[in-house]
């Protein structure tokens, strides 16, 4: 059982007011709020431990290096990776996918080779591959969704052929909340010798994720969506793949030796970490993941599911409200529209009541097109949200409906 009022006291921002009303923050899929321990870790590191890592012989540099590498081990354990060499620090999910798209296509793809995505992908898992279409001549195959906005796995299976080089798929959709059956997808892919990249931007903070059990080849996520700092993300890759991939960015730290005749590259994970990394952000992210682990991902998943069920039932009492994404396997995201009311108007009016939701296409325009809408209103819940806040959302929507 989670002690929600105790948890809320760890997040000072939740007790602030907007427009003179208590903040109801339901935009957690965009970014999560930060517990005190994360902010305090950043402060502590700048005040006591700030020195550039890896290259220094002095005390502070060595301590900062130790903290950065300890954070890598925390992340390794959090996602159940075999080795900390498989954890690459990036700026976020977007950079992690760009890294793989660039390095993977350069090494393994020739014109006509195919990458499989799905209709529900975030633009971050579409556009990097489109950039590679132009560079490497690859083709994209897109798996469609059924009426509940679930990925049609049979269609995915049909799209695999001898030209398929990789499947890159979201674990959880940011716009719908649909949880994809990634275990099944990976099983099918591996039976065909195709590696799989999992976009876990919307899953690692909600569900237990173990990359060895899942057996994915790559997995990516962002720190800021998991109660950690912005500008900090992770790329996990099996060592056998990362070893074969060429570097993405060039610069300091990723090299073994440099001359104008020949430059050689560093070992994993440093080969993919050019330049000074966010060595403060890494410890802050590790602190955030420790905070989640202390609450327990099973407890979080159970409580957030309760919020999802409660909110779904309450929202469906509103006449004319339609929920987009009705899979029984959902995380705590609800996308909806209310008859005739533009999502932007709904979002603006809810905001004036202190309720923060997201409106628009949620960086998933192909999905919106498939649903024949130009956007939705999205309420996304975290473990610090409460049923009382959901009641405020429902009352707020009813008020907007009465205005129209």
Binding site for ligand PLP (CB under 6 A): 92-94, 122, 124-125, 170, 174, 199, 201-202, 222, 363
Residue 216 bears catalytic tag? no
Q: Which is nearer to ligand PLP, 201 or 219 (CB)?
A: 201
Bridge partners, residue 235, by sequence: 88, 220
Structure tokens at 228: 């950690």
Q: Which is nearer to ligand PLP, 199 or 217 (CB)?
A: 199
Structure tokens at 30: 């965009």
Determine contact, residues 159/116, Cβ cutoff 8 Å. yes
Catalytic residue among 105, 109, 216, 363: 363
Kindly list the distances between the CA atom of residue 217 and the CA atoms of 199, 214, 239, 241, in Å, as whole numbers in the listed order: 11, 9, 9, 7
Task: Give the shortest CB-198-to-ligand PLP separation in angstroms.
Answer: 10
Q: End-to-end CA distance of the chain, in Å?
A: 41
Q: Which of 37, 42, 41 is nearest to 11 (CA)?
A: 37
**Cα Dmax for the chain:** 73
The residues, ordered by sequence, that sit 6+ positions from 336 with a Cβ below 8 Å of its Cβ are: 315, 321, 322, 323, 324, 376, 377, 378, 379
Q: Which is nearer to ligand PLP, 72 or 122 (CB)?
A: 122
Q: Which is nearer to ligand PLP, 211 or 394 (CB)?
A: 211
Task: Give the shortest CB-361-to-ligand PLP separation in angstroms.
Answer: 12
Q: Which is nearer to ligand PLP, 92 or 247 (CB)?
A: 92
Structure tokens at 72: 């890598």
Task: Give the shortest CB-76-to-ligand PLP separation in angstroms.
Answer: 20
Q: Which is nearer to ligand PLP, 232 or 338 (CB)?
A: 232
Per DSSP, 271 falls in state G
Structure tokens at 70: 């300890």
- The C-alpha atoms of residue 10 and residue 338 are separated, in whole angstroms, by 34
- Using CB positions, name the residue nearest to ligand PLP: 174
Task: Give the shortest CB-236-to-ligand PLP separation in angstroms.
Answer: 15
- The C-alpha atoms of residue 129 and residue 310 are separated, in whole angstroms, by 38
How many other CB atoms are there within 10 angstroms of residue 161's CB atom? Answer: 11
Q: Which is nearer to ligand PLP, 96 or 103 (CB)?
A: 96
Determine contact, residues 401/320, Cβ cutoff 8 Å. yes
Q: Which is nearer to ligand PLP, 92 or 325 (CB)?
A: 92
Task: Give the shortest CB-20-to-ligand PLP separation in angstroms.
Answer: 30
Task: Give the shortest CB-259-to-ligand PLP separation in angstroms.
Answer: 35
For residue 248, give the 3-state DSSP assignment. coil
Per DSSP, 116 falls in state E
Task: Give the shortest CB-112-to-ligand PLP separation in angstroms.
Answer: 27
Task: Give the shortest CB-233-to-ligand PLP separation in angstroms.
Answer: 6
How many other CB atoms are there within 10 angstroms of residue 91's CB atom? Answer: 18
Kindly state the helix (H) or strand (E) to which residue 220 belongs, with its residue range: strand 218-222
Kindly list the distances between the CA atom of residue 54 and the CA atoms of 253, 269, 358, in Å, as whole numbers in the listed order: 8, 13, 41
Instruction: Count the alpha carbons within 13 Å of 196 in the hemisphere toward its beta carbon.
Output: 27
Active site residues: 363
């Amino acid at each position: 059982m989670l002690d929600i009022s105790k948890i809320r006291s760890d997040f000072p921002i939740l007790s602030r007011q907007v427009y003179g009303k208590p903040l109801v923050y339901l935009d957690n899929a965009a970014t999560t709020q930060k517990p005190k321990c994360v902010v305090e870790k950043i402060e502590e590191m700048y005040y006591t431990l700030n020195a550039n890592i890896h290259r220094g012989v002095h005390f502070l540099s060595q301590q900062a290096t130790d903290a950065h590498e300890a954070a890598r081990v925390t992340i390794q354990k959090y996602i159940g990776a075999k080795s900390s060499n498989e954890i690459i620090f990036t700026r976020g999910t977007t950079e992690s996918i760009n890294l793989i798209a660039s390095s993977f296509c350069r090494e393994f793809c020739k014109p006509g080779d195919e990458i499989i995505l799905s209709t529900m992908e975030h633009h971050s898992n579409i556009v990097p591959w489109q950039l590679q279409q132009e560079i490497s001549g690859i083709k994209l195959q897109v798996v469609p969704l059924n009426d509940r906005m679930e990925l049609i796995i049979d269609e995915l299976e049909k799209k695999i052929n001898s030209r398929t080089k990789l499947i890159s798929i979201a674990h959880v959709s940011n716009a719908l909340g649909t949880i994809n059956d990634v275990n099944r997808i990976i099983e099918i892919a591996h039976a065909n010798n195709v590696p799989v990249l999992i976009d876990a931007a919307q899953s690692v903070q909600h569900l237990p994720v173990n990359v060895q059990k899942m057996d994915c080849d790559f997995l990516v996520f962002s720190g800021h969506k998991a109660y950690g700092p912005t500008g900090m993300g992770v790329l996990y890759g099996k060592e056998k793949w990362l070893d074969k991939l060429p570097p993405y960015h060039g610069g300091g730290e990723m090299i073994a030796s440099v001359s104008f005749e020949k430059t050689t590259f560093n070992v994993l994970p440093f080969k993919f970490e050019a330049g000074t990394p966010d060595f403060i952000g890494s410890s802050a992210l590790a602190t955030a993941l420790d905070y989640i682990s202390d609450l327990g991902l099973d407890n979080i998943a159970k409580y957030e599911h309760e919020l999802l069920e409660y909110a779904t039932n309450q929202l469906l009492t509103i006449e004319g409200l339609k929920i987009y994404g009705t899979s029984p396997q959902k995380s705590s995201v609800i996308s909806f529209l209310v008859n005739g009311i533009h999502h932007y108007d709904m979002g603006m009016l809810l905001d004036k009541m202190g309720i923060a939701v997201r409106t628009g296409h949620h960086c998933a325009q192909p999905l919106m097109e498939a649903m024949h809408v130009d956007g939705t209103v999205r309420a996304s819940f975290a473990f610090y949200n409460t049923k009382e806040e959901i009641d405020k959302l429902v009352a707020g929507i009813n008020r907007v409906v009465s205005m129209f």
